[in-house]
Structure 1
């Protein structure tokens, strides 16, 4: 019986079962549910389709498995649990302080750096991963019917976290979080943030503030971003105040000191566009996302 219990924990996280007030999977029943404030994290391998086209199905499976094997322990060691493996993506839940999720995200970035060093030694290309997180209410429960039950999560928090992860491609940043996560975060002083402004996700009415956490960059990149942190903040203030000439100079200064700052380059490109074409009359700086 103990053996069966240990095996079932690998398919349904014990943390999920305990959140329902149960100790083992045999204790749960259809309709059991609980609502909690949690932080949901999504990570995704960038350009996976391009990578996978160069591999056989067996190589693809091994690649994804090795990627997940690197990141899974980082999540668990920071008080999170993996809710789903979604091919080249992972969905994780952190039931306590969002600081757990941020520590895990930074650790995951470092794990990817280490994996890339190993891939470089055998002549394989580097991989990149985007991580997004959002904090909010989530219902965890048992759904299905009497013949087939499943552990499910139901909440817009999940959808929003997934959307934020997709914004890592847009902003060219590896780690993004919402202002909701920042509000619930107890240990803000343990991290370094850059505020990127607001977005309106497709199908949403309310704006969502997006923040970048820079702690997971490698040592050289982190040093450069810390040196330009206030400069970047001033550039963003000028950008949102429509002082585009000043923003142009400030973003260029950031990139002079940190040529690899792709997020600064994103806003520099936008700034040049607005200087050239102008902005709509009611422009507020908020980004309107037209796709999911």
Structure 2
């Protein structure tokens, strides 16, 4: 009876071959199977002959032995180095020296770090290697005295040793696979982590299906290599295929196996040969997970259940990963219109839970950017050219702002409104980065109407960040006098001919060591405001020669402002005249000179 609570019970979803040992095409003549490697080391040729005679037809769990011989410890090192996957070592103790065998064991365990190989000691002189001391001091499976050993005793020791190796290898493979599973769960839905997770599970599965420890898992559809479809690639692998992750399947498996993959995809899902098996699992879609197992014969019923369970769960894991990836793509597409960071400002981490009226009060720096004289420039350009110019410009400006922590709230035609939750320091450094990028743009891209000029205004203060609109159409926005003031500061660049103006609130939030050169312009009456705002010009936005001239005239400039404040217009006019004479390009000094002259 199907139990939906039991993850091992696939119910109606189980493939037909899961319990049917007769399913699949007739097997071809078997190719050479995997073999348990047994190494015999003894300096007596007769021992080699007897061992060969006793063991050459022996099988362990249906797998035959592959015998290798060495007549000394020195020769044994070469054989062991060549066959590091050997299962059992039948080792004489006394050969070149009384302890040659024990030295070989020490070399294996300590220098070669081979803890998997099982060892059976055989000696004709037990007194030179007492059994209790040897078994306690070395990782030895069995101890045989040549004078007492019989064929049956030898076979029993070999079977026990090979099975001990099998079990130890299974534990090691599963432990390694478990480590991969645990590592993958930290970032479960990354593409690489899904591969790592499935590879870890596959290694554990392969450890249960010995000697089939080499396997390949991928997803394919029929026809296997249809030109319009992506080439199937290895998603998980174990054993000798462990380095094949991400490679095209046709580069990993030979042509005969690929033909059987086609049969598996179009037939019952199971193809078993004498030396490999191919399984595919129908999950109801066009693509089917496919598992190739290398080595061994037909699987037993419980082994097929393990395979079908892996294929089903792996297929579902891949499907869930694909759904997660699609969701992330939709979210990234949505963020191109409404940045996630902007929504997070209203203290919402889940976009699905954002609603009209959600808001949060906080202090923030607001930046407004505008292209100077853009309307006049547009008159001489066709609309497509204007559109192209704006996008080229924003492709430069956007990254500069975002790299300094800016969140673009909205594009305003030829302008941008940007939020800086991190405060004035990032805001002013972003503004300077934008102006430097525009200078490079002007050098690299000469325009018929002259270089582009920017005006940037910055203010800092309390704002309300929230969602406005109605249930079917809402948008995040920032509302406060701080926003309006920042916009008016930006507009004042047109009056003064400046590139970057900031309020005193911005300057008060700067780090002293990172504050750029500034010039106070005094309290300014901005459009629409009843209270004046102290503005400062950021001299760092100007070229070095200009900064030097402005610094040299700073005293006269400040004296002129003080005279204006005292309404001593004649004195103010004289001061600003001196500044303009020294620096004819100082448009701010010209503005205040005009104010003094008009008011006199």
Secondary structure (helix, strand or coil) at the match of 1:135 reads strand
Maintained 8 Å contact 2:492/2:526: no
Cα distance in structure 2, aligned partners of 1:167 and 1:13: 29
Aligned-pair CA distance for 1:18:
2.0
Equivalent runs, 1:94-243 vs 2, <5 Å: 94-120=420-446, 123-187=448-512, 190-243=515-568
Task: Name the CA distance, whole Å, in 1 between partners of 2:472 and 2:428.
Answer: 39
Does residue 375 of structure 2 align to residue 49 of structure 1? Answer: yes
Separation of aligned partners in 1, 2:554 and 2:411: 35
> What secondary structure sits across from 2:540 in the alignment?
coil
Measured after TM superposition, the shift of residue 219 of structure 1 is 2.5
**Match of 2:445, SS?**
helix
**Contact 1:5–1:24 at 8 Å: present in 2 too?**
no
Distance 1:260 1:189, change over 3 A: same
Query: Which structure has the larger Rg?
Result: 2
Structure 1 contact 168–174 (Cα < 8 Å) conserved? yes
Find the counterpart in structure 2 of residue 17 from structure 1.
343
CA distance 1:123–1:203, shift in 2 (3 Å): closer
- TM-score normalized with structure 2 length: 0.44
Secondary structure of the equivalent of 1:215? helix
Q: Is the partner of 1:212 in helix, strand or coil?
A: strand
Q: Is the 8 A contact 1:45 1:129 kept in 2?
A: yes
2:589 to 235, 239, 264: 264
Report the Cα distance in structure 2 between the residues aligned to 1:63 and 1:130, rounded to whole angstroms.
Answer: 17
SS at match of 2:541: coil
Structure 2 unmatched ranges of 5 or more = 1-326
For normalisation by structure 1, the TM-score amounts to: 0.87
Higher relative contact order (CA 8 A, sep 6+): 1
Please report how far the alpha carbon of residue 24 of structure 1 lies from its aligned counterpart in structure 2 after TM superposition: 4.3
Deviation at 1:43, TM superposition (A): 0.8
| d(CA) in 2 for partners of 1:104, 1:159 | 20
- Report the 3-state secondary structure (helix = DSSP H, G, I; strand = E; otherwise coil) of the residue aligned with 1:255: helix
Decide whether the 8 Å contact of 1:107 with 1:216 is kept in 2. Answer: no
Contact preservation (8 Å) 1:37, 1:137: yes
CA distance in 1, matches of 2:381, 2:555: 43
Q: Which residue of 2 aligns with 1:282?
A: none
Instruction: Please show how residues 74-93 of structure 1 align to structure 2 within 5 Å.
Output: 74-93=400-419
Aligned mates of 1:107, 1:98 — CA distance in 2: 14
Distance 1:142 1:188 in 2: 38
Deviations 1:209-241 (A, max 9, x none): 222111111222222222222332222222322
The CA deviation at 1:204 is 2.9
2:361 is matched with: 35
RMSD: 1.9
The separation in 2 between residues aligned to 1:256 and 1:200, in whole angstroms, is 27
- Cα displacement (A) at 1:124: 4.8
* Contact 2:521/2:537, CA 8 A, preserved across alignment: yes
Q: How far is the alpha carbon of 1:98 from its aligned partner?
A: 0.5
Which one of the candidate residues 56, 70, 75 is aligned to 2:396? 70
Say whether the 8 Å CA contact 1:71–1:111 is kept in structure 2: yes
Indicate if the aligned counterparts of 2:423 and 2:460 stay in contact, CA closer than 8 A. Answer: no
Alignment correspondent of 1:288: none
Q: Which moved more, 1:263-272 or 1:205-214?
A: 205-214
Is the Cα–Cα contact under 8 Å of residues 41 and 92 in structure 1 kept in the other structure?
yes
Q: Is the 8 A contact 2:355 2:471 kept in 1?
A: no
Contact persistence 2:401–2:430 (CA under 8 A): yes
Encode CA deviations 1:110-143: one digit per residue, 9 max, x unaligned: 12211221233x6551121111111111111122
